[in-house]
Structure 1
Amino acid sequence: MVTKDEKKKLISEIIAYWSKDWNKFVRDALCARLDREQQAIIESVQHNPMTAVASGTARGKDFVAACASLCFMYLTPRFNEKGVLVGNTKVAMTAPTGRQVKNIMTPEIRRLIRAARAKFPFCCPGRLVADDIRTDYEEWFLTGFKADDNATESWSGFHAANTMFVITEASGISEIVYNAIEGNLQGNSRMLIVFNPNITTGYAARAMKSERFAKFRLSSLNAENVVKKQVIIPGQVDYEWVKDKVINWCSPIQQTDFNEGEGDFKWEGSLYRPNDLFRVKVLGMFPKVSEDVLIPYEWIEIANRNWQELQANGFIPVKSCKLGVDVAGMGRDNSVLCPRYGNYITQFEVHQSAGRADHMHVVGMTIPYLKKKGAKAFIDTIGEGAGVYSRLLEEEFTNAFSCKYSEGADGLHDITGEYEFANMRAYLYWALRDWLNPKNGFGAALPPCDQLMEEATETKWKFLSNGKIIIEAKEDIKKRIKRSPDYMDALANTFYPRDYSFISDEELLKDFL
């Protein structure tokens, strides 16, 4: 006969086993079947403080959020040998309306708890009261309530050893509420936001570009029910629904018109271009960005995917290196080196100078690249970069070139030969845009980098009255992202054209690639 102490020890060992892999708890205890992408979200919440999920319709975002909430609720509290709670846990689930909490979030929680208790009676203790789970410990609970701009004090009680905030329909939550939530992100804390990406502004949209968040996109085209054309996971989007939306919300296109950067996709042997409804409701993508944004989010995603495929195949670059160097000065944190080999970026190399002008260190980082055959370095010499450039010339590295954003761009055009530019900065940024545009077919390959993603998609452009293109002032970009666009500058520098002045405008960009 198993004694009470032996039973308590066994339960403790089982909880400890699940704590190491939350997906095992979801599968074994909650009896939930998650697809691979949903499992990746659970793993992210287990290990990352902040996770953002943009999702298509009926893709299971609220279900996986409920699973993550219960993982945190039951796998993070800590008890001493006498069974006294020594590490408390508080979970808050919220949404823009009370209906969303009561009709969407709470039912998912209740279904999962019932399934868990049917299999393991000791599992998921606590009383289900309204939209809450209340345990015998006052400081261990899960609660659900509407997010209210006029009741930010509701968040003031969420200080605990373990705290989690789960926000569904996150694009409908105000900045006021997010600020109140972030004030509680201390200790072992988690923040999970899930939403349909129906607007391109606000906290949720920025989260999908921020280095602070682990980011996921749930496309209905990848749903297991859709791929296998049968209901494998009840409640998820099904094949017939997606098929109907392809017919009614998408336009057939030819291979010559295919542009993955526009969200174009292949469906049952044919190619389609989605409208904004399909982008949001099915693909889990934002609607098309404003025309004044320099580089769409999707272009960066494609370049990241190209890079990951090359890495998986053991790609070794053979082209000579074009090195872009952006040197940190006083008040800026990072000097960034960007080595580009044709269409392939290896990795950004970063030196955190803590606001000091550390010229010799950057020189030391640059020299190994310049010693390689055919290599060239392009250094921003407005400001601190001038010192690095001068030192390299003293060391007789004649393959280092001064790059000044303020210099003229007369005679330089975009890849079509149509556009002209107000200055060298505008030309270089547009050359980067042409390179990343999937329609141009360069196959740009970029290592995933949250900082570059944010900088590229936050940069805007416009036409001057003389018809030339200009990029918005760096100071305006810094106001939005709270730092200098160092990664963007370093990458743009690799397209500097002046040592290629003998090449025709039509061949200029292609030669660089």
Structure 2
Amino acid sequence: MADIQAQLADAVASYALDPEGFVLFAFPWGQAGTDLADADGPRAWQRDILRSIGEKIRAGYEPGSVLMPALQAVASGHGIGKSALVSMLTAWALCTCPDTKAVITANTEPQLRTKTFPEISKWFRLLICSHWFRVHGMSIHSTMPGHCKTWRADAVTWSETNLEAFAGLHNVGRRILLIFDEASGIIDRVWEVAEGALTDEGTEIIWCAFGNPTQPSGRFFECFNRQRDRWSGRQVDSRTVDGTNKALFEQWAETYGEDSDFMRVRVKGQFPRAGSMQFIGTDTVAEAARREVSAIITDALVMGVDVARYGDDQSVIFFRKGRDARMIPPICLRKVDTMQLAARVADEAQRYGADAVFIDGGGVGAGVVDRCRQLHVRGLMEVQFGARADRANYDTNAERYANKRAEMWGTMRTWLKTGGIPDDQTLMTDLSGPWYFFNPRNEIVLERKEDMKKRGLASPDMADALALTFAYPVLKSHQAGGPWGGRPQQMQDYDPWKA
């Protein structure tokens, strides 16, 4: 047994400067009963990256050469196997060099905890030398006595106020692997601190940045532009990769346009032409949640009703009176049928004296609209998210919207600069979640709910319900509704003709 282990150690060590060779050797490609039974090796683009990193490291050991950091950036569309490559690189780095230190971070803690590191853990369990390491939820370390703190990989979250993990990234004379996943979302300060730490002489340093190219600025963008002489950049079109969903990509091309920013970012691996793809900024949403506002008593009370279409979605009733969208708490309902939802809408509209009720009439929402009409809900109007944008705007420089949903969100985005919303994390996440793009007619297209789900986000039901309150203008009135139940008491008691 000792001889077998020694032979294994020698075999693995022989790939210290050959990531591609190690990956082909160490994983059970094509072996029945394994997760890799149907694969004969890494995908072509993955092999190219493994080969590129190996060439850079080997070049540092040539006579007269200096060992320089191997900097590799990959911008790509979805579904190409980025996390699998991150896992292969991590396995190679740890297995072929004792006391390697690897740090993996991502744009958000949930991305790191629920996607990136679980994939790494899965691949480590497939290794021919998996018994050399112990896998935990957010770390992997050597089982060799005395090396659990020096020979390891860690998932490290970051914040603007806590960058010590990157500032202390040193491992003189050994190997450092630093991986940024979804790198477009990692702030420049993290990049700067990490780069300042990667200065150890005589140390193998591999720094890889992967992600969708969501921002046409920042350090990830610079890897392919201003710093392209330092970084080896590769942009991968998802349609060129085996095993990706080509039919879905064709559907996206038809929906958003082949040359849209949506296709550039999520399929082609190209940076968008516009600025941030986030339609409503996180800062804007946070300020609206903190802002103190009060409605004018004559402001119309408007209800927006977003009707659930899927089992894990919720129907939401949202109230807004002028600048105030928090005086009446939103109502979230799960697993109610159209009749139950319609009855609740009618009851709430009467309770508060709503001046307008805008209901999402797409799909099953049509049944809610029909039933509310039967119940004679005052101010009822059906809204189709996919209909054309039809609010009058005489500003020739105004933004143009591809459909009604984008138009409502655009009006809501402007309102958020002065309005107030509940301090509710679900609502705040919903508002800042959707991306936007421009179609060939230069109209704003908002990301669809189903595409957000493919990106790992929940359907923005609460935000859509609030957006519905901006479907059309509603006139102010002395009879305006509110939490007092319709016409304000002070208005009812006042008679201007009484002496």
Structure with the bigger percentage of strand: 1
Structure with the bigger percentage of helix: 1
Structure number with bigger Rg: 2
